[in-house]
Structure formats: C-alpha cells, structure tokens
C-alpha cells in the first residue's frame, strides 16, 4: 500500500487508532452553572490535615484554584492568588488551592516543596494534594493556575485566570478573579464569568480507575 511503504508511515498507521480515540477534542470542562464536583473527596494539606472542598466552603461561596510549585505562570500569579485567598475567607468565600501534578514529573511539586512554598507565601487557606489527579479531571482543569469560583449554592459562577497581566501586577487592568470574588461575596452577578490565559499543562497522574 502506498500509504504504508515507509517505516514512518507504518508507525503512523499503528498510532492512528489510538489517536483517533483521543484527538480532536479538549478536556471537558465544567460549564458556568454546573455544580461543584467531588466536594467530599479527602485531600491532604501542607499541614498534614485531611481536607475536603465541602469542608472549606464559605457561607457565600467556594474558590478552588488548581496550581503547583514549578510552573512559571503559577509563580507569577502566586502572590496575587495568595492575597485573594487570604482575604476571601473574611468575605465568606472559602478557598482551597489544589496541586494535581504528579511530582514524578516535577519533584518541586511534591509535598515538601508545597510546605515550603506555603510558608514563604504566608498561605492561610488549605494547599492540598490531589493524589490521583481525579479532582482535576472532574473539574476539567487543564492548566496551572486555573480558578473555579462557586456561589453559595455550589454553582460555578467564574472559571478562568487570575487577571490580565501575569508578569506585572502593577499593569493589571482586569482583575477577573478578584472582581468575581468580590461580586459573589456581595451578592452581585459576576460580570466576566469566563476567561483564559496561558499556563502549564497539568501533569496528570496515570488514571487508576476506569
């Protein structure tokens, strides 16, 4: 067959079936209005305590941010994310930062690194490990950092990035996440509900369940 005459073509043909099953679509993400998933899954925080998303939820809402230690984009936003999380609690929004990365990919993303980073940043909210990456899968999270904000009823009202200026906090024009948290805490509608920014792909652990 003409198409299979070269070794590379044969290799491509063999890989074709697997590709056909996986390519052509992005990871399914939660949509605005969707319910908070996997809120009772126990995850271990940097303080050694077991945490669930339901357990950190505030009276007015819940903020879940997928992040990690190694990613340059997560690092650029980490101070701003910490500030948002540390103040959100006082406004009735509980926050949890979740690291779903496989530390085998980046040792910096292991628990020791997380503890160190939490201490350096002065994080006052739980910074936990998604030990199977299944929580990230359930959210449809794909990158770090990526934020999901839920209202008091557990419905997604904001999904996306932190703001429009990762590298320079002084140049921020649209503080998407901060504004969304403020809106939810004061009972207002989030004006910009979905945003995107570049980030590091989450290094998912191998799936253990079908």
Partner 1 sequence: MTGPSHSRPRTLIPMALALLLLAGCGHAPGGSPGKAASAASTDTLPLEPVTAEQIHRRIAEPGARATLVNVWASWCGPCREEFPAIVALAERERSRGLRVLFVSADFDDQAPETRHFLAEHHAPGPWLVKTGRDQEFIDGLDKRWSGALPVTIVYDPAGKPVQFWEGGADSARFAAAVEPLLTSQP
Query: Is there binding between residue 11 and partner 1 (CB under 8 A)?
Result: yes
Query: Is there binding between residue 28 and partner 1 (CB under 8 A)?
Result: no
- Judge contact between 61 and 184, C-beta under 8 A: yes
HSE of 202 in the Cβ direction (CA atoms, 13 Å)?
Answer: 28
Query: Is there binding between residue 177 and partner 1 (CB under 8 A)?
Result: no
Query: Is there binding between residue 206 and partner 1 (CB under 8 A)?
Result: no
Residue 67: CB minimum distance to partner 1, A: 13
Restricted to residues 145-164, the positions that interact with partner 1 (CB under 8 A) are: 146, 161, 164
191 closest CA partner among 200, 209, 179: 179
Site string for partner 1, 82-121 (x = CB under 8 A): ----------------------xxx-x-------------
Count CB-CB contacts under 10 A for residue 88: 26
- Give the C-alpha separation, 105 to 14, whole Å: 27
Q: In terms of C-beta density within 10 A (0-12 exposed, 13-18 middle, 19 or more buried), how is residue 169 classed?
A: middle
Which residue in the set 130, 193, 200, 205 belongs to the binding site for partner 1 (CB under 8 A)? 200
What does the binding site for partner 1 look like in residue numbers (CB under 8 A)? 2-3, 8-9, 11-16, 18-19, 22-27, 29, 70-72, 104-106, 108, 142-143, 146, 161, 164, 166-167, 195-203
């Amino acid at each position: 067959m003409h198409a299979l005459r070269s070794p590379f073509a044969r290799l491509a043909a063999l890989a074709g079936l697997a590709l056909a099953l996986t390519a052509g679509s992005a990871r399914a993400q939660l949509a605005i209005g969707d319910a908070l998933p996997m809120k009772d899954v126990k995850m271990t925080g940097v303080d050694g305590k077991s945490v669930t998303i339901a357990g950190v939820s505030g009276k007015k809402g819940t903020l879940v941010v997928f992040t990690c230690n190694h990613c340059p984009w997560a690092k650029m936003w980490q101070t701003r994310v910490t500030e948002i999380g540390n103040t959100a609690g006082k406004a009735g929004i509980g926050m949890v930062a979740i690291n779903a990365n496989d530390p085998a990919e980046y040792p910096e993303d292991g628990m020791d690194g997380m503890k160190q980073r939490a201490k350096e940043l002065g994080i006052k909210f739980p910074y936990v490990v998604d030990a199977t990456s299944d929580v990230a899968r359930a959210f449809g999270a794909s990158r770090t950092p990526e934020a999901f904000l839920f209202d008091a009823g557990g419905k997604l009202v904001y999904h996306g990035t932190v703001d429009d200026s990762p590298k320079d906090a002084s140049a921020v024009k649209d503080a998407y996440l901060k504004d969304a948290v403020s809106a939810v805490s004061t009972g207002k509608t989030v004006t910009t509900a979905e945003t995107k920014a570049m980030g590091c792909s989450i290094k998912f652990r191998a799936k253990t369940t079908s």
